[in-house]
Structure 1
Amino acid sequence: MKRRGCLVAAILALVLVAGAVFAGGMFGSATVEEDTPFIIPAGSSLTTVANKLEEEGLISSANGFLLRAKLLGGNDPIQAGEFALAKGMSQGEMLEAFQSGDVIRRFVTIPEGWPSIMVFEKLMAEPLLTGEIDVPPEGSLLPDTYDFERGESRQAVVERMQAAMDKYLAEAWAKRKPGIAVDTMRDALILASIVEKETGKPSERRMVAGLYSNRVKQGMLLQADPTIIYPITKGKPLGRRIRQSEIAAVNDYNTYTMVGLPKAPITNPGRESIAAVLDPAATSAVYMVADGTGGHKFAETLDEHNANVSEWYRLRRQRGEME
């Protein structure tokens, strides 16, 4: 009996091996010799995909691939996109990837404080995106890293950025502290855009927000240099010193010649600048000047501020930055 059992097991093993050989011959084989991107256009049928795989030398037989998919591949439809076919990948693994939508994701990063014109230029320069877009409204995009697929529309990416800003702003507004300087989400966004451009130090954001909040509440001129620059460059770096004529310019943005907030944001503020405006530091400061380290010195009185300004000029003379 023991010998008969061994014989049966051996016959079964031979049958399985023969079946595998037969199936392999019937289905053909994958021939992915190196990691290869493979694109499935929208609306492609399985037959179209099989033929494309064969044409690109990634399988030995389109008909075999189709037969295997019909018998062993399940009923899930294939999805469009760009897929990464790894070296040595089997036909079954290919089909599973196509059905699961395991596409290659690419990324675009929008830094905090980038104006919309620079976001526009970056998206238009991305060759893997498609379609035209207008420059998005200033302040409508949340700085972050976003993924996209090859062939996706630029407009779709912009809409994700805008949806992210709408969502975050609404959530942050709901948690705002009482007594803040702004009454609407729109004004919070505008003030946050000034805070974003006024300091490159994350640790200073709430203090800068507190200072500008004090000025808003007291009806003082905000006198924020970035609001002078925005109408000139649309938020891009000016690349030179601000001219006296520009300081004196009267427009809807220049807070040296108007009381209150600009008519619109001057950049796309990040989460932390928005949060700072909605929970500013408790301070009586209404003046600030650069301190030479990338940050600022804050003052409550004009005399104290003038002393800080004199110190800043002294540092600039030492560095040879003043004529």
Structure 2
Amino acid sequence: MIKKLALIVLFLSLAAAGAAYWGFTQIEDYVNDDIAIQERTLVTVPEGANYHSLTRQLVSDGVIEPSQWARWAAKTHPELTRLKAGTFEVEPGMTLAGLFALIREGKEHQFAITFVEGSTFKEWRDQLAETDNLKHETAGLTEAQIAKKLGLDNEKLEGLLLPETYHYVAGESDLSILKRASRQLQASLNQAWESRDQSLPIDSPYELLTLASIIEKETAVDKERTKVASVFVNRLNKGMRLQTDPTVIYGMGDNYDGNIRKKDLRTPTPYNTYVIFGLPPTPIAMPGKASILAAAQPSDTPYFYFVADGLGGHTFSKTLAEHNRAVRQYLKVLRSQ
């Protein structure tokens, strides 16, 4: 009888051990099998989420398959319960363990927003307003109010933010991005100002920035920037008006319809360099690093004029007669296209 009981106990023990081992292997398969997605997917872990609420969310979103072993996985793998809130990018082929490791380590997905050289602050605001996953803290603020929050005394932010690609995590504020853009602009401007040509007819870093913004609007050809800068510096030294169309366009504001007419060149605005002498009162766009450096270190040239050549670049001239010939050649190229 005792022997029979011993055999029964042994059998039950082996059965229990077998069942436990089978259950353990099922949990391990659940944790280490590939998740259900076929393409990169963003997963947002809310503040206060726990393992069970998150797995339910992942099943609902189709990221993982439902499983009776989900609740047991947290017991055999307690590391799965250590979560950090945020938005994470999940890739096909990732396991549940890998997904939770990504979340546990707080490796949030980095979104990106790119501001192009030569854009205006109005365009930046429009772009930020249309960007998802950002907290829009500046939406109801004026430009001057935003400047104050950036620690700037300027009424206008034109030119005071560096056009670059900025990365951010979900829930970051637009103001945070603008602060970074402001700091980077200031760093680039300070560097350029310290290394500037000491003979420049420029009295302050802000004037240098204003000149850089004009250069930015006049050419996108890197090798031309310092040459364009030299034309404007030569004109300033000579006491000539800068006579640059982008300043006229900026001064026209919403009245600009894509065309500049002769009357526009004659209409006074604080920015119309066909009317005023010297630089306009503020930058007219956001210059990039290359244009800021070109303004600080222009080429030494005899040029006072330039005009588009119709081929993507410009023709530079020393005299008005040469310039007029270049203009006629440009018009001839346009007519032939």
TM-score normalised over the length of structure 1? 0.79
Amino acid at match of 1:275: L
Is 1:195 aligned to residue 215 of structure 2? Answer: yes
Identity of aligned residues (%): 30
Amino acid at match of 1:268: M
1:137-156 per-position Cα deviation (integer Å, ceiling 9, x unaligned) = 11122112222333433222
Cα pair distance change 1:44/1:159, threshold 3 Å? farther
Q: Within 1, Cα distance between the matches of 2:22 and 2:93?
A: 18
Count of paired positions: 299
- Aligned-residue offset at 1:203: 1.0
Task: Pick which of 33-42 and 253-262 moved more.
Answer: 33-42
Cα pair distance change 1:64/1:37, threshold 3 Å? farther
Partner of 2:24: 22
1:4-42 per-position Cα deviation (integer Å, ceiling 9, x unaligned) = xxxxxxxxxxx9x96685275499646721143211134
2:181 counterpart (145, 149, 161)? 161
Amino acid at match of 1:172: A
Q: Within 1, Cα distance between the matches of 2:20 and 2:88?
A: 33
2:239 counterpart (215, 219, 231)? 219
Is 1:313 aligned to residue 328 of structure 2? Answer: yes
Cα pair distance change 1:63/1:140, threshold 3 Å? farther
Q: Within 2, Cα distance between the matches of 1:200 and 1:237?
A: 21
Amino acid at match of 2:91: A
Partner of 2:149: none
Cα pair distance change 1:291/1:43, threshold 3 Å? same
Q: Within 2, Cα distance between the matches of 1:184 and 1:284?
A: 24
- Aligned-residue offset at 1:198: 1.2
2:46 counterpart (41, 44, 54)? 41
- Aligned-residue offset at 1:100: 2.0
Partner of 1:10: none
TM-score normalised over the length of structure 2? 0.76
1:36-75 per-position Cα deviation (integer Å, ceiling 9, x unaligned) = 32111345455643443354452636643543553x459x
Task: Pick which of 141-150 and 253-262 moved more.
Answer: 141-150
1:251 counterpart (250, 269, 275)? 269
Contact 1:298 1:305 survives alignment (8 Å): no
5+ residue gaps, structure 1, are 1-14
Contact 1:46 1:66 survives alignment (8 Å): yes
Task: Report the aligned-residue RMSD.
Answer: 3.2
5+ residue gaps, structure 2, are 1-16, 147-156
Aligned pairs (5 A) from 1:174-323: 174-233=194-253, 238-240=257-259, 242-300=260-318, 304-317=319-332, 319-320=334-335
